[in-house]
Structure 1
Amino acid sequence: MFERKAMVTRRPNIVIAISIVLASAILAIAVWVLAQMRDDALRRAQDSVFNVSLLVERDVSRNLEIYDLSLRAVIDGLKQPGVLELDPAIRQMVLFDGSASAKDMGSILVTDEAGNIKFDSQATPPRRVNLSDRDYFKVQRDSTNVGLYISHPFVPKVSGKEISIAMSRRITRPDGSFGGVVVGTMRLTYFRRLFAGMNLGAGGSMALMLSDGTMLMRRPFDPKIIGINLTGTANYSRFTQQPSGDFFGTAAIDGVERWYAFRHIDMYPLILDVALSTRDIYVEWRHRAWIIGSLIAALDVTIIALAVLFSYQLRYRRAAEEELRVLARTDGLTGLNNRRTFEEHAEDEWRRAQRNAWPLSMLLIDVDSFKGFNDLYGHSAGDDALTAVARCISQSVRRPGDTAARYGGEEFAVLLPDTDETGAAFIAEKIRAAVQALQLRHVASSQHVLTVSIGIATTRGEAFATSRALLNAADDALYEAKDAGRNRVLSYRTVTHTSPRGGATVTPSTETRNSV
């Protein structure tokens, strides 16, 4: 757990990446939910359309069946002996039942073989009209097995009122010859009122047509399209391919895309289609999708924005921690490493040198007579002098593995991994010369300029047991350089006599000087 937190802290971009993945997952779930809701909206619309089409089919089929039974009753009545000799009023009652006077039902007529009206359910004596030019008469006259025939729309001659259709049956004489027709008319207002009672939405449509493509009634109603033929249109072609079905299509009449459910009305040459506009099907879904989509988008944006803000805070915290780390490991005046950092590096390099049998050299550098410098020139000038000495050390110690530090007060230390005594002496002399070259006036010094003394200690096998012993050796060498007159470099070498400072067994090494 702590490792994961540390990784997030080290890599703030991971927070943004995680937030994007999370936002994408939420978006994917929302899209899936909206897709399911869209499918549900379509299924509900389909169920509604199927129910409407079934209801309309049953209503139309029932009324046509009742009217057909009335036509059959007239034919059967005409076959009964003595009916034709009855009193006209009684004959009307025998031949025509009450269905002939139902709402939206027109007249039931009986014609002779020439098309003249013999009996009329609406008038006694019958109106004098010839119907031989009507399609329902011609079809029955020319064919013996048509059965019930439903005509194309027309305006009745006998009433001259609303557009109607006719249902006719053939009257066949005992010898099989044509004896006329029985025809009943039905006003198209019946279908118009029936369609108007169905809830199909603002863009929905409903149509009833003959099997040959002739339009009988359509919602939305337009009298100009009654009687037109739809043969050759894409939707009509689909209507004729199977008894019932559904599909998405575009209406040839108004160009609106709809979902269609159609069925052939059983026993009758009629096709009913009920259609919902795709816009109406998804109007509620679109409203909900807009709300849900807006909320999800706002949520995703918020998640990513918070992640970006949090990432920025992590970067700021990381930068602050890095700055604190640098401050904790750096001397504020000179910009070099501080003593604590130097000792950590010294311990690490000591262990590495012991493992690999590499030489390790250490320099201790002390500014000569620095107390007198401070007393003469002030602490501000003393700080400037220490900064200048630090700069000389930094410019002389350039390898990545080398470490330079302010060890305390006017004392500095340099760690030189994989460097023998000769290399260390070269670098030490370079530092000493660079400081002297600054020519910082110091009248309290024997050199009259600011100088440094440097002590060198280098590991040789097991000569030093610890890094502290190596540091002490460099300190002893520095003491000897100070004692020998300052402004010089001395190396520590182990010999078998006692150091003047006591403790370790030491003797001064060959000195390196600059004659001034």
Structure 2
Amino acid sequence: MTASRTALFQGPTGRPEIMVIFGSTLTVISILCIVTFLLIREHANAQQTATRSATTIAQLIDADVLRTVELYDLTLQGLIAAAQRDDLKQVAPQIRHLVLFDRSTTARYKGDILLLDKHGDVLADSSLIEPKPGNFADRDYFLAHVFNRDTGMFISRPFKPRCDCDDSDEWRISFSRRISSPTGEFLGVAVASMRMSYFDQLFNSLDIGNGSTLGIINDDGILLAQKPYREQNAIGKSLSSRPNVARMLRERSGTFESVSSVDHQRRLYTFTRVGNLPLTVIVALSIDEVFAAWNRTAYAISGATGVLCIGLLWLTWMLCRELRRRQSAEQELAQLAATDALTGVANRRSLDLTLRHEWFRAQRSGKPLSLLMIDADHFKAFNDRHGHQAGDDALRALAEVIRTNVHRPADLVARYGGEEFSVVLAETESEGAKQIAEHIREAVQKLPLVDAGEPPMSVSIGIATWTSGSDINLEQLLFSADKALYQAKEGGRNRVVTA
């Protein structure tokens, strides 16, 4: 560093030094103000984006639920219209059943569709031509119509069916309509039940991120569906006493930020009413998830800004020189850190990084990933017989043979440890991996590494392959390849075994 540059950092011994410090301080303050302003603006943008996303999700749920409920309502109206036809009383039961439930096939996730008389007894059942005896006069979907002719279509509380059927433990809700005489007399109820798995399917089709929740409640605050389930046995219970739910029931639609009374996590709540139905859709996005990207950006920018400000105040010139030196050194170290010094192939650290990268790439693309584990047979005996220098030469020759038989740039040859090597074969099926392994095994036997009369150098190879649909993880892939190698050793060595 020259004397003139050194003087810039010696402190306020004169006017130029004071001006530099003043200018640097003013620059730092300006940078901090600008960065703070940008971060605040990006924070607001992240919240607006999350609100728009939540609103879109709520609208998608709203539209799907509304369509489904309309199909059920059309089914009920068709059933009532058919039930009031006098000519159906004279036809065969099969034909009457077909006409009554003609529209029921269009309803998704439908359960039972029943026609009940004014006492709640079953007159017709969509699943049976001759209905089983049953009475549902105590159900809310029946009682809602007994004394009120203006109820319209009623949506029940969640319930489990009264039967010994396979799905008796599955929650359902029912839609019902009153059947009245021309004079308004109560004649009965048409009711159609829907399996709650409809909501599970609908919610599972939407990606809301970790820590977030989807839900539907009715106007009494009763929880009809939720993803994921934040508490046991909440379905069918009223949540209206909880502050967040009470606010939603009061305001009908809107967005607010609050803490959940269940798991005490802060969330961004967006809620909207489903058309004119007594249902409210709730989308609760985790604040941690909403601002996750912003937090990472804020930390990165804040750190970078701090380094920049310190550099402007104290180490501007030296930092530039140091960064250049460090960049060169890091590149050299990175090269050394990724290579095995003895054989020149990739080392274990490079193998771990590459294998993990190729694993996630295979998960995204669905293309296969194969792993070869290669071990030199009787290498300790070879080392003892010929010496360590010959052993090192053998390992280098072995690495070169493996590298020669693995041609694609995307594949990786690495020394796993000792006399063991690994090969990562991207987008390679088990059969292709086996062919490469056989070529390697045959080529190794041809190496001129032993004296006349000695058995040739050989290797045992284990292969494991991940394909789309496999339920193994990365650790299990490694374990399978290692196990296959062990089987090759146990089976007599100098062979290839596929897991």
TM-score by length of 1: 0.56
Structure-2 residue corresponding to 1:163? 171
Helix, strand or coil for the counterpart of 1:156?
A: coil
Whole-Å Cα distance in 2 between the matches of residues 85 and 101 of structure 1?
A: 27
SS at match of 2:191: strand
Matches within 5 A, 1:115-264: 115-158=120-163, 159=165, 160-221=168-229, 224-264=233-273
Question: What pairs up with 1:336-355 in 2 under 5 angstroms?
Answer: none
Which of 74, 90, 93 is equivalent to 2:98? 93
| Correspondences of 1:366-377 after superposition (within 5 Å) | none
Q: CA deviation at 1:11?
A: 5.6
Question: Which whole-Å CA distance do the structure 2 matches of 1:305 and 1:216 have between them?
Answer: 62
What code does the residue aligned with 2:133 have? R
Match of residue 494 from structure 1:
none
Distance of aligned partners of 1:293 and 1:171 in 2 relative to their CA distance in 1, 3 Å threshold: same
- The count of corresponding residues between Structure 1 and Structure 2 is 305
**Counterparts in 2 of 1:169 and 1:178: CA distance versus 1, 3 Å:** same
CA separation in 1, counterparts of 2:122 and 2:91?
Answer: 18
The one of 58, 65, 68 equivalent to 1:60 is 65
Contact 2:221 2:249 in 1 (8 A): no
Residue-by-residue CA offset, 1:130-184 (whole Å, 9 max, x unaligned): 1011111111112111111101111112543411001111111233221110000
Distance in 2, matches of 1:57 and 1:94, equals 31
Q: Could you tell me whether the CA contact under 8 Å between 2:72 and 2:107 is conserved in 1?
A: no
Deviation for aligned residue 1:308: 12
The alignment's C-alpha RMSD in Å is: 2.2
Q: How does 1:288-367 map to 2 (within 5 A)?
A: 288-306=297-315
**Residues 63-118 of structure 1 deviation map (CA, whole Å, 9 limit, x = unaligned):** 00011011011111112221122211111221112534744111110011111100
What corresponds to 1:277 in structure 2? 286
1:25 corresponds in structure 2 to 30
Rounded to whole Å, the distance in 2 between the matches of 1:223 and 1:94 is 42
Q: Distance in 1 between matches of 2:133 and 2:232?
A: 29
Residue 16 of structure 1 contacts residue 308 of structure 1 at CA under 8 Å; is this kept in 2? no
User: Quick one: which amino acid aligns to residue 114 of structure 2?
Assistant: L
Q: In structure 2, what is the Cα distance between the partners aligned to 1:103 and 1:58?
A: 15
The 1-side partners of 2:183 and 2:33 are apart by: 78
- In structure 1, the partner of 2:119 is 114
Rg: which structure is higher?
1
Amino acid at match of 1:63: T
- d(CA) in 2 for partners of 1:71 and 1:134? 17
Identity %: 32
Which structure 1 residue ranges, 5 or more long, are not aligned?
A: 310-516
CA distance in 2, matches of 1:307, 1:147: 77
- Secondary structure, aligned partner of 1:45: helix
Deviation (angstroms), 1:199:
1.0
How many angstroms apart in 2 are the aligned matches of 1:101 and 1:261?
31
Checking the alignment, whether the CA contact within 8 Å between 1:100 and 1:107 is kept in structure 2 is no
Structure 2: distance between partners of 1:97 and 1:73: 8
SS at match of 2:215: strand
Deviation, 1:223, is 5.2
**Cα displacement string for residues 24-69 of structure 1 (whole angstroms, at most 9, x for unaligned residues):** 1111111111112212211221111111110110000000001101
Give TM-score scaled by structure 2 length.
0.58
- In structure 2, C-alpha distance between the alignment counterparts of 1:307 and 1:283, rounded to whole Å: 32
Cα deviations by residue, 1:354-404 (Å, 9 ceiling, x for unpaired): xxxxxxxxxxxxxxxxxxxxxxxxxxxxxxxxxxxxxxxxxxxxxxxxxxx
**Paired AA for residue 248 in structure 1:** E
Question: In terms of mean alpha carbon deviation, does 99-108 or 177-186 score higher?
Answer: 99-108
Instruction: Work out the CA distance in 2 between the residues paired with 1:283 and 1:177.
Output: 60
* 1:13 to partner: Cα distance: 3.1
